[in-house]
A and B are shown apart, each in its own frame.
Chain A
């Protein structure tokens, strides 16, 4: 499987609930990033967490990183219908020539 695999593949929640998605990766990383993609659009950067960081917040987003388990999680609190999108994790690995490798994504549906 690819570097950066998200779990679950799809998530359906009610507005106001929290959404949690996870990402696993295989090799050592320099940083891990989360992106959002609305249907038919390009990706938008949400948050970057460095390998020496464990948790980061940005508005309603909370990202954790556990390098011992090679995993990261993205939590969206108090979700809104506008949060409906696909969410991708991407890992940056200097040993791989600095390219950013993306996972398959988690499709999130927030029902009003």
Chain B
């Protein structure tokens, strides 16, 4: 696709339910990131996939959070047994080159999935 696509754009769920958020990165981008943004706040890093390397899961806040990236493309972020504090906008971004290298590594963001846990 032309850009990073995320679905659903909005999700309202009840406390204790599981949710899945999907990210379709730009075709050919090797790096994929998930961030979380609470209202009026900055971006909290969650997880990072780069090519075939083991993902960097250091930002996942608890074991209720998991993510996978199938075939080096689509990624799914799963939150089990959702809590009210999980309410936030979940942003996905992809990059052609890992941003920490000296090469150009700008991130292309999706519009986010707004999660509300009642």
| A interface residue numbers (CB < 8 A to B) | 2, 30-31, 33, 35, 41-45, 48, 50-51, 88, 90, 92-94, 96-105, 107
Can you list 30 contacts pairing A with B, beta carbon distance less than 8 Å?
A2-B42, A30-B100, A31-B99, A31-B100, A33-B106, A33-B107, A35-B109, A42-B4, A43-B43, A43-B91, A43-B107, A44-B109, A45-B107, A45-B108, A48-B104, A88-B42, A88-B43, A92-B100, A96-B100, A97-B56, A98-B99, A99-B99, A99-B100, A100-B33, A100-B45, A101-B45, A104-B41, A104-B42, A105-B41, A107-B40
Q: Are A50 and B48 in contact (CB under 8 A)?
A: no
A35 to B102, CA, bound (A): 18
Q: B110 an interface residue at 8 Å Cβ cutoff?
A: yes
| B interface residue numbers (CB < 8 A to A) | 4, 31, 33, 35, 40-43, 45, 48, 50, 56, 58, 91, 93, 98-102, 104-112
Question: A31 to chain B: closest CB distance in Å?
Answer: 7
